[in-house]
Amino acid sequence: MLIKKPDGVKSSEITPERHYINRREFIRTASLAGIGLTTASFLPEALVGQDRWPRGKKGPYDTDEEVNSFKEITTYNNFYEFGTDKGDPAEYSGRFKPKPWTVRIDGEVKRAATFNLEDLLKPHKLEDRIYRMRCVEGWSMVIPWRGFPLADLIKRVEPTSRAKFVAFETVYRPEEMPGQKSDVLGWPYVEGLRLDEALNPLTILSVGLYGKELPNQNGAPLRLVVPWKYGFKGIKSIVKIRFVEKQPPTTWNLSAPDEYGFYSNVNPDVDHPRWSQKSERRIGEFFKRKTLPFNGYADQVAHLYAGMDLRKYF
């Protein structure tokens, strides 16, 4: 399949700042009932009119920053399987069917199997974690995820000594995911982590946000969350997890290797070839803020990259 390089990607795929601000104000002020948005169809009834996640006792991995609203999190998304515009996932994901769902886990493991999602989740205690999330395009959010540590699943399937990396694959259903009918990326979407990154306690498999099941536009029913990396590492709607010996291919690295490296750690000192990464705009805020190394999680993950040239391995 033809993989379109960034120079051939239409300009609408990266939202200009003025358009982002206009859309932000449109979403904030418009009446959901009167403007024909699909938002009301996916807002859980209990959360309509609720702006903020009720904070209880702060967990060991939580940020104490203000959480973005449910509406912000579910109407401004990167999910190219439903379209390249930030509003496309919310608008075009209604036909996607996240149930029933199976996940195949194989490769260099002793307990390869195909799991129904319910069976996959049964042994794992779901946790609520409030993470900063940073997108390569220069915007960020704070999201209350619900999920479980990927490390727990890894221990369950027992990787062999040859397992050095974990590869992930998104479902391929162009009849339900209209973006997959385009050649803007190679499909299905694939991603990967080094095994020690996957085992880090910050890395989770998420099945929900705001205490509810994941909406389709946010990666239902199962997605990866790696908060110290740029958002495109958070592969969505996962159907395959494979343990491998060699570094696996990843979609954006295949599409534009000079712009999207395998590691994709948030590093404000390494600019994207087309824009700076030194600052970011938090969705819901007007002024930019300074971007933190490893998205603010350096204490938890910097040791994973000791001795590595983080400009070379970006």
Contact 247, 190 (CB under 8 A): no
Computed over every residue of the chain, the mean pLDDT equals: 87
How sure is the predictor about 72, in pLDDT bands with cuts at 50, 70 and 90? very high
pLDDT in tens, 212-251: 999 999 999 999 999 999 999 999 999 999 999 999 999 9
**Averaged over 1-13, what is the pLDDT?**
43
How far is it, in rounded angstroms, from Cα 74 to Cα 221? 14
Give me the phi and psi of 151, to 5 degrees please.
-55, -35
Percent of the chain scored above 90 by pLDDT? 80
pLDDT tens for each residue of 39-65 = 333 434 444 334 566 665 678 899 999
Superfamily of domain 11-305: Oxidoreductase, molybdopterin-binding domain (3.90.420.10)
The count of other CB atoms within 10 Å of the CB of residue 258 is: 11
Pair 248, 256: CB distance under 8 Å: no
Beta strands in 80-126, from DSSP E residues, in sequence order = 102-107, 113-116
- 286, two tokens: 């007007």
Residue with more model confidence, 204 or 27: 204
pLDDT digits (tens, 9 = 90+) for 140-153: 999 999 999 999 99
Angle at 29 between CA 287 and CA 128, to 5 degrees: 70
Query: Which of 311, 103, 99 lies closest to 216, judged by CA?
Result: 99
Q: State how far Cα 216 lies from the chain centre.
A: 13
Residue spans of the domains in the chain: they are 11-305
Digit-coded pLDDT (tens) for 81-129: 999 999 999 999 999 999 999 999 999 999 999 999 999 999 999 999 9
Interstrand relation of 204-209 and 139-149 (parallel, antiparallel or unpaired): antiparallel
DSSP β-bridge partners for residue 19: none
What confidence score (pLDDT) does residue 55 get? 60
